[in-house]
Amino acid sequence: GAVVSQHPSWVICKSGTSVKIECRSLDFQATTMFWYRQFPKQSLMLMATSNEGSKATYEQGVEKDKFLINHASLTLSTLTVTSAHPEDSSFYICSASREGSTDTQYFGPGTRLTVL
């Protein structure tokens, strides 16, 4: 159990367009989901934490108007990169934790975004 999926696995878009990435918990209810960004040969950096039904909490330096996060249900969170630019090209990874078990995060396979 505890499988997390992401869609799409990779996406290429033009500069200025918006891209939506989905994160789903397939076999459990995720009260909290996390969004990370990973640049090549670097570690994962937490972007934001989202709880179902409430606004996301963004880390310092992450633009909330640029990276829109919606956590509308216990199995789905979405990250929308608005007006994407080449510097937004990165590997975006989500994770999810079960209710009552916030010390364990289950990671998705990641989405590679390339902005031309």
Partner 1 sequence: QKEVEQDPGPLSVPEGAIVSLNCTYSNSAFQYFMWYRQYSRKGPELLMYTYSSGNKEDGRFTAQVDKSSKYISLFIRDSQPSDSATYLCAMMKGNKLVFGAGTILRVKS
**Which residues lie near partner 1 (CB under 8 A)?**
4, 6, 32, 34, 41-46, 49, 91, 93, 95, 97, 102-110, 112
The nearer residue to partner 1, 11 or 44, going by C-beta atoms, is 44
Q: Report how far apart the first and last C-alpha atoms of the chain are (Å, whole number).
A: 37
CB of 84 to partner 1, least distance (A): 20
Contact indicator for 80, 67 with CB cutoff of 8 Å: yes
Q: How far is CA 30 from CA 25, 41, 111, in A?
A: 6, 29, 19
How far apart CA 115 and CA 11 sit, in angstroms, is 8
CB 35, min distance to partner 1, A: 12
Q: Which is nearer to partner 1, 47 or 115 (CB)?
A: 47
Which of 18, 29 has the CB closer to partner 1? 29
